[in-house]
Structure 1
Amino acid sequence: MKQLFIERLGHRGEGVSRDGDRRVFVPYALAGETVAAEIAGDHACLLEIIEPSPDRIAPICPCYTHCGGCAVQALASEAYAQWKRGLVEAALRNAGLSLDLGPLVDAHGAGRRRATFHARMDRGRARVGFMAARSHEIIEIDACPLLAPELAGALSAARALAQILAARGKPLDLWFTATLDGMDVDLRGAGPLEEHETGALIAAAERHDLARLSNHGRLVTLRRPPMIAVGAARVPLPPGAFLQATQAGEAAIAARVVEAATGARRVADLFCGVGAFALRLAENARVAAYDSAADAVEAMMAGARGATGLRPLEGAARDLFTRPLTAQELAPFDVVVFDPPRAGALAQAKELAQSKVNTVIAVSCSAQSFARDASILLSGGYSARNLTPIDQFRFSPHVEIVAVFSRETARGGAKRRLLG
């Protein structure tokens, strides 16, 4: 056991200390604290808080420090917001960028509308919950205070479904999504189902009032088509489809995207998913939307067909990592929105930097890949404004970013600012 002083919170929400010349990460410790910890390599297990931070508060969940779902739950709100906003500041600084960053926007709302539970089989019994921090150990939980009310029955349903497949001995992931029509569930890891398993799963879906149950995206039972609301549209959700984690998060991001596109006549929405932005943008502009997931694009178009008052919306399946829209293909658009996965949009950012598009709206779930893509756009002559960090993953190190890049501002004299 060693006594350590915590210098700061790291980018994963762990306390950062020093043991001689070695940097040590201490989960659940806060900046400014003196703690007793057991060191193993470059990580340590927190044993005792000797001198607590004045910013330490009581956590809201009894599973905190056991379940790995939350990294920073014992930090007072103001200090928490500073830390989370600082994650974006640090990523920009590390990329050599000095850009104005707005305050953190709280977009937790009613809670997470999607969650992935993990199941591991122990002598015929399914253990269901979340994984411990930096571990594959399952921490069984009965409830999670971060989930939206529509997922209140999710853990009970997850245990029932996993228990039916416990005899296989395979680890499972159970993807739950709250929809307008109830919970939508996609099982991952089971493989092809036997007839008796299918029957038992259908019965469990009935007992737990699931809207739909799928296995690796293949339908097991459909009781009600799961729909989500996107602007004026109702969109049929593909199994396991990507959604922003909270409804409040989607609304906060979309509001900024729509505002930045005000006055646009033609808009391209890249990495469009099921149309969280495209369907809203189509209320005022002609939109062309692209995503590699063909089922997501089809769902977006189905939502558009059922909505009234939309301008023309075109959708196409296209892998923008290997086939980004070229600068020539981007020429007809006065606004482009892109919201890539965590890896960012390296190839597409390079094409945008060579294009003459007036306004590019970047949405990102990774501060590091955002900083890289932003640097490419800035080097291509864009200037940045309205950088906003958005927190829909409360108590975690994940943060969303929305930013507007403009050639018009650049022509007006605003310059890229580099550190050093």
Structure 2
Amino acid sequence: MTEYKITRLGLYGDGIAEGPVFAPMTLPGEVVTGALDGSTLRDVKIITPSDARVAPPCRHFKSCGGCQLQHASDALVAEWKTDVIAQALAAQGIRTEIRPIVTSPARSRRRATFAARRTKKGTMSGFHGRASGTVIEIPDCQLVEPALLEAREIAEALAELGGSRKATLAVTVTSSPRGLDIQASGGKPLDGPLRITLAGLCESRGFARLTWEDEVIAQRAPPVQRFGVADVCPPPGAFMQATAHGEAQLLAAVQEAVQGAKRIVDLFAGCGTFTLPLAENAEILAVEGDAQMLEAMDKGWRMAKGLKTVTHAARDLYRRPLLPDEFKKFDAVVIDPPRAGAEAQTAELVRSEISRIAYVSCNPITFARDVAQMVAGGFTLDWVQPVDQFRWSSHIELAAQLTRR
């Protein structure tokens, strides 16, 4: 049988040998064999293991698709994620200081989406299996907060009430100080009896809020998230950072990047993750495409004490980026776009007179593309702070500071 030498990790955490041949759950330096299926190696056997190979901390790792890198040491994962950022920047001809990565602890994910379905014997819930639609039960998951893991029973109860044998119910559970915030999708259409039954379940189980598809069925207490000194009740399914630890690390980097600024624009502001803490020291304009998230942020700001003025604008920054004249009265910009980056908005920032930018990204490739545009337009990339709040996954987040030369 042919042997393959793994030379590097790909963007999704798979080992890559010459060819390229992709071998899941392998590490650089390992010699492996397996059955070649196209460009992917199946039924992989490790002939020569890497010194960085460790025993996975979770017993579900081999079957569950929630993690990709539990077989690698923390040091190797940190080095690899940092190198992905460095390589993305190098491809654009950029070098800068990349600070040591900060990693969220195990069992700290505060949101998870469980797959739940009815079976012949009852119900089951968990995560999808690796590269499959099979539901894998994960009673000892090392990734999510314990309160979320306990919510698997709730997902099964929802599947029993409103799921079908032919479809999988997606149950997203978010922890909050006032209880679990639960949203289910992919179930039966709502009718009167199902609404009443679901509302009763929310009351008896003590959820903060239960949403079926896009309709709030019951809310016992606002499932608030704290941003600085403000309590915000996000709309169901609204974006939020994966861990409180990761959010704090990104916020600290953003605060450092815009330190001293008195008037700040926060682009792709969401529900105010950065807006509201920054409003303790500066006036903020928050711009976001989702009006519901801005409304939630505004309510949180109005209820909080001691914050400076926060105004907001609902605007699709892909179709209508802020123009140079609109930045004239501001000292700094915070930008936290989705994975696609912010190419159109970046072009307008280059044309503006803004001299300081805090850029938060969940995609090193589009980040490097946007930064290259800014560097060509007169900015310097001062530093990058990697943040690993998706522990054991191939996902990479970062915050960076840019200043105009």
For Structure 1 versus Structure 2, the TM-score category normalised by the shorter chain is over 0.9
From 364, 376, 380, the equivalent of 2:361 is 364
1:258 aligns with 2:255: yes
Structure 1 residue 179: deviation in Å?
0.7
Structure 1 residue 29: deviation in Å?
1.0
- Rounded Cα–Cα distance in structure 2 between residues aligned with 1:170 and 1:200: 20
- Rounded Cα–Cα distance in structure 1 between residues aligned with 2:162 and 2:213: 14
- Rounded Cα–Cα distance in structure 2 between residues aligned with 1:386 and 1:47: 39
Match of 1:334 in 2: 331
Match of 1:311 in 2: 308
Match of 2:202 in 1: 205
Match of 2:16 in 1: 16
CA contact (8 A) 1:124 1:167 kept: no
From 46, 50, 58, the equivalent of 2:47 is 50
Counterpart of 1:6 in 2: which secondary structure?
A: strand
Structure 1 residue 132: deviation in Å?
2.4
- Rounded Cα–Cα distance in structure 1 between residues aligned with 2:130 and 2:90: 28
CA contact (8 A) 1:2 1:36 kept: yes
From 236, 241, 244, the equivalent of 2:238 is 241
Match of 2:81 in 1: 84
Match of 1:322 in 2: 319
Structure 1 residue 207: deviation in Å?
4.0
TM value normalised by structure 2: 0.95
- Rounded Cα–Cα distance in structure 1 between residues aligned with 2:107 and 2:310: 31
- Rounded Cα–Cα distance in structure 1 between residues aligned with 2:123 and 2:23: 31
Structure 1 residue 97: deviation in Å?
2.2
CA contact (8 A) 1:391 1:400 kept: yes
CA contact (8 A) 1:271 1:291 kept: yes
Correspondence 1:43-192 to 2 at 5 A: 43-108=40-105, 111-120=108-117, 122=119, 126-167=123-164, 169-190=166-187, 192=189
From 209, 215, 219, the equivalent of 1:218 is 215
CA contact (8 A) 2:117 2:164 kept: no
CA contact (8 A) 2:230 2:301 kept: yes
Counterpart of 2:76 in 1: which secondary structure?
A: helix
CA offset digits 1:42-90 (Å, max 9, x no partner)? 1122442221111111111011121111110011121121011111112
Percent sequence identity is 40
1:390 aligns with 2:387: yes
Structure 1 residue 191: deviation in Å?
5.8
1:40 aligns with 2:40: no
CA offset digits 1:215-266 (Å, max 9, x no partner)? 2231111121111111111111211111000001111101111122121111
CA offset digits 1:8-27 (Å, max 9, x no partner)? 21111111113xxx311111
- Rounded Cα–Cα distance in structure 1 between residues aligned with 2:188 and 2:287: 30
CA offset digits 1:104-128 (Å, max 9, x no partner)? 1123475101111223555585442
Structure 1 residue 157: deviation in Å?
1.2
Counterpart of 1:225 in 2: which secondary structure?
A: coil
Match of 2:6 in 1: 6
Counterpart of 2:97 in 1: which secondary structure?
A: coil
Unpaired runs of 5+ in structure 2? Answer: none
- Rounded Cα–Cα distance in structure 2 between residues aligned with 1:130 and 1:44: 24
1:274 aligns with 2:271: yes
Match of 1:351 in 2: 348
- Rounded Cα–Cα distance in structure 2 between residues aligned with 1:194 and 1:169: 19
Letter in 2 for 1:306: M
What do you get for the CA RMSD once the two structures are aligned? 1.8
Letter in 2 for 1:11: L
Letter in 1 for 2:116: A
From 394, 402, 406, the equivalent of 2:399 is 402
CA offset digits 1:249-293 (Å, max 9, x no partner)? 111101111122121111000000110110011100110001111
CA contact (8 A) 1:108 1:246 kept: no
Distance 1:149 1:139, change over 3 A: closer
Counterpart of 2:180 in 1: which secondary structure?
A: strand
Counterpart of 1:87 in 2: which secondary structure?
A: helix
Distance 1:269 1:109, change over 3 A: farther
Distance 1:317 1:210, change over 3 A: same
Unpaired runs of 5+ in structure 1? Answer: 411-420
Counterpart of 1:167 in 2: which secondary structure?
A: coil
Counterpart of 1:269 in 2: which secondary structure?
A: strand
TM value normalised by structure 1: 0.92
Counterpart of 1:7 in 2: which secondary structure?
A: strand
Distance 1:78 1:189, change over 3 A: same
Number of positions where the alignment pairs a residue of Structure 1 with one of Structure 2: 405
- Rounded Cα–Cα distance in structure 2 between residues aligned with 1:4 and 1:183: 47
Letter in 2 for 1:381: G
- Rounded Cα–Cα distance in structure 2 between residues aligned with 1:105 and 1:404: 17
Counterpart of 1:115 in 2: which secondary structure?
A: strand
